[in-house]
A = this chain, B = another copy of it.
């Protein structure tokens, strides 16, 4: 009796191509890669790592457990099958010419406030949510839910946009019946590709976690090439978090924390003045790996 078949590992494998965060998918972008826990795996983390590295051929940097959930439907139908899913966030560096990679913001256009597409998406969501709230019976409930919409989507400038609330925003849209996973009609749905099962929800969890991590931990560098300019680093930070940063202040903070050191090389193809290339000070930082990192992320 092999009982470990019931444990499923789901990976949100993330990389950055150019400036754009991407996620590894299967089934034409409809699912996240997943696999069973095998008895040869020494631990869950090792299981994910081994399996993803075999699948992509790339070494994985940061691996982090996200969340474990019971698949409710499967519990009740007491047939054999997957019962517990454990999701992981994994970061890798490059992936030239591989298939299965999709942009984060194909699934969550509204999370990319930097882009025009994101802003129009947000404007549409605002109208749809307004309509959803208006259709509620109780006035008190109407007020409560509208407050929730306002604080999650930063409607009306009363509250600032919080880039870490990816999951909460998705859940609100789900409750409002504005995503395909909630079974709504396509014309009523918000823009953004849907996924099978609750995989888009898991992706939202991963995005939120990564956005939180890059603020305090030097994990961005797991996604960067060996050498990079400060603007490249800034662009990656911006596209991960979905918000703009002030260029000079960003440089100031990166430099004064001594997160990076010059390689001595110069990047010529900047389109303007050539830029110095930097590398992550992994060696020096490893010693004090528990000292926090501060990355400034502000609104435009």
Contact = CB atoms under 8 A, between A and B. Distances in A.
Interface of A: 1-4, 6-7, 37, 39, 41-44, 47, 65, 67-70, 72, 75-76, 78, 80, 83-84, 86, 144, 147-148, 151-152, 159, 162, 165, 168, 286-291
B291 A70 contact: no
State the copy count for this chain: 2
A290 B162 contact: yes
Contacts of A289: 151
A291 B151 contact: yes
Contacts of A86: 68
Contact of A37 (B44, B70, B147, B288): B70
Contacts of A168: 290
Contacts of A80: 1, 3
Nearest to A147: B287
B44 A68 contact: yes
A6 B6 CA distance: 10
Contacts of A148: 287
A67 B65 contact: yes
A4 B288 contact: no
Contacts of A288: 147, 151, 159
A72 B84 contact: no
Contacts of A78: 2, 39
Closest 6 CB pairs of A and B: A147-B287, A68-B68, A151-B288, A44-B70, A151-B290, A68-B86
A151 B289 CA distance: 8
27 contacts: A2-B78, A3-B80, A4-B75, A6-B6, A7-B70, A7-B83, A7-B84, A37-B70, A39-B75, A39-B76, A41-B70, A41-B75, A43-B69, A43-B72, A44-B70, A68-B68, A84-B84, A144-B286, A144-B287, A147-B287, A147-B288, A148-B287, A151-B287, A151-B290, A152-B290, A165-B290, A168-B290
